[in-house]
Amino acid sequence: MTLKLKVWTGLGLGTVLLGTSLVACSSPSDQIQEENAEVSMTTDVSEPAQKVKSIEYGEGGESGESGTSGGSMEVLPIENRLAFMTGHVEAGLALYRAGKLEQAAPHLLHPVSETHQSERQGLDALGFEASLFKSVSEALSQGRPASEIQAELIAAEANLNSVAKKAGGSHADIIRFLMDKVVEEYSVALNDGVISEPGEYQDAFGFAVVARAHAEQLNVHYKTAVLEEINELISFWPEAPIPSPSPTSVAQVIAKASAVQLALPAD
């Protein structure tokens, strides 16, 4: 029997060597946890519709997020930086549409704030329209419900899709990058089986959603299998992306992300 192994690195938690069969046998004590994670976003899901106070973040982004594992955002290929930013936007828009305005706010800063400017380098030349996202952020800060600005939300999503087509890159490589980010963010999000960093929990969901969009563009010989794995991964956020009181274990997310990567073409 041949055992395929996947090496996960860059989590700041050591290197995780796993096969899909090994992870299935993991006990809760085997789950990867990030110790001493600083809680900077509320897990309160009872959020009334109201004006969202102005929120500013330092260089780490929400919850101290640095953007890349062991490196600067500037070193990433433009298609990966775009996918990273789009993952945050997807999480933010989902939260906005769910009426969680304050939770949505930090995610939707990525296309507009100076803090996240490095993610956007080179995107203007590909047709990125920052004004669309500024309009969304302004509406959110005013406490306007998503139902009032559906046209703006759709336009913002369409702009990111258009830029992604022009950015190019290998869809399989982008999905690999996003799966690494899913594992990294989700591993930080949970502590002893409880969501201690909801921002990272939501980021991981957003990255999985963007990965699904790229899977739609894969060669037909791989598309179905990869989409099946990614859809199962996304199902791990049952109230997506609102934090769940009973979240899926880190081990299960790692196993499914590994399965996604194993289903991808080699190129």
Domain boundary residue, one of 168, 184, 217 = 168
Distance from the first to the final alpha carbon of the chain: 25
At residue 79, the pLDDT reads: 96
User: Does residue 84 lie in a domain region?
Assistant: yes
What would the DSSP string read from start to end of 28-79?
GGGS---TTPPP-S-------S-PPPP----TT-GGG--SSSSS-GGGS-HH
Residues 153 and 143 in one domain: yes
Take residue 116 and report the two structure tokens written for it: 């996240």
Cβ(143)–Cβ(50) under 8 Å?
yes
Residues 176 and 239 in one domain: yes
* Opening angle at CA 64, ends 58 and 68, nearest 5: 105
Strand 16-18 relative to strand 6-8, pairing: antiparallel
Residue pLDDT, tens place only, 206-250: 999 999 999 999 999 999 999 999 999 999 999 989 999 999 999
User: Does residue 250 lie in a domain region?
Assistant: yes
Domain boundary residue, one of 168, 184, 216 = 168
Residues 192 and 244 in one domain: yes
In angstroms, how far is CA 172 from the centroid of its own chain?
A: 17
**Measured distance CA(54)–CA(105) in Å, rounded:** 9
- Cβ-count burial of 65 within 10 angstroms (0-12 exposed, 13-18 middle, 19+ buried)? buried
Give me the mean pLDDT over the 195-207 stretch.
Answer: 97
Residues 163 and 180 in one domain: no
Cβ(18)–Cβ(5) under 8 Å?
yes
Cβ(57)–Cβ(109) under 8 Å?
yes
User: Does residue 101 lie in a domain region?
Assistant: yes
**Measured distance CA(56)–CA(207) in Å, rounded:** 22
For residue 241, give the amino acid letter: P
User: Does residue 257 lie in a domain region?
Assistant: yes
- Domain with residue 250: its CATH number is 1.20.120
At residue 119, the pLDDT reads: 84
Q: Which domain holds residue 218?
A: 170-267
**Measured distance CA(107)–CA(147) in Å, rounded:** 19
Residue pLDDT, tens place only, 189-198: 999 999 999 9
Give the mean pLDDT of the chain.
Answer: 79
User: Does residue 57 lie in a domain region?
Assistant: no
Task: Report CA-CA distances (Å) from 68 to 65, 179, 187, 196.
Answer: 8, 13, 14, 20
Provide the domain count of the chain.
2
Give me the mean pLDDT over the 72-99 stretch.
Answer: 92
Residues 212 and 265 in one domain: yes
**Measured distance CA(172)–CA(178) in Å, rounded:** 10
Domain boundary residue, one of 135, 168, 201 = 168
User: Does residue 26 lie in a domain region?
Assistant: no
Residue pLDDT, tens place only, 87-115: 999 999 999 999 999 999 999 989 887 77
